[in-house]
Amino acid sequence: MRGRREPTMTDRIRIEELKLRTIIGITDEERHDRQDVVLTLTLFVDTRKAGKTDDIADSPVNYRTLTKRIIALVEGHSFNLIESLAETVAEICLAEPGISGVEVAADKPGALRFAGSVGVTIERRRDHA
């Protein structure tokens, strides 16, 4: 059909429950001590070549290197908002050429009394414009 696009398939690589410590929050108490944050990332990639060749060189992203970058940035910086933390992590992921999009779930355990966690989930796609 004219003008109709075929559905695109996107493979995903998940990095679940990356537990880090950073300065996050707006109160004096929160700005003083590092707090736990938990990140879960879903990287939108194309894994077909790596799946066929079974060769690490064909993988769309080296997730060990990417994770080390995220750890260094999160633990080396401070954030007022969990939204800012998630946005910064998404930008790091999208700087990788093999990643076309990312979903970042960022949680701050113990942020609210009676709640296990407070979190935000964002999805960002590479801007092709």
- Range 15-42 average pLDDT: 90
- Range 13-36 average pLDDT: 89
Q: Which domain holds residue 27?
A: 11-37+46-112
- Range 27-50 average pLDDT: 90
Q: Would residue 96 count as lying in a domain?
A: yes
Q: Supply the pTM of this predicted model.
A: 0.86
Q: How many domains does the chain have?
A: 1
**What residues are labeled active site?**
108
**Calpha distance 21→119 (Å, rounded):** 15
**Calpha distance 24→61 (Å, rounded):** 28
Longest dimension (CA), the chain: 60
Q: Would residue 28 count as lying in a domain?
A: yes
Whether the Cβ atoms of residue 19 and residue 36 lie closer than 8 Å to each other? yes
**Calpha distance 111→14 (Å, rounded):** 25
Average pLDDT taken over every residue of the chain: 89
Q: Quick one: pLDDT band at residue 110, thresholds 50, 70, 90? A: confident
- Tens of pLDDT, residue by residue over 53-79, are 999 999 999 999 999 999 999 999 999
Q: Beta-carbon neighbour count of residue 28 at 10 Å?
A: 7
Assign residue 17 the CATH number of its domain: 3.30.1130.10
Strand runs (DSSP E) across 1-129, as ranges?
11-24, 35-45, 78-79, 101-109, 117-125
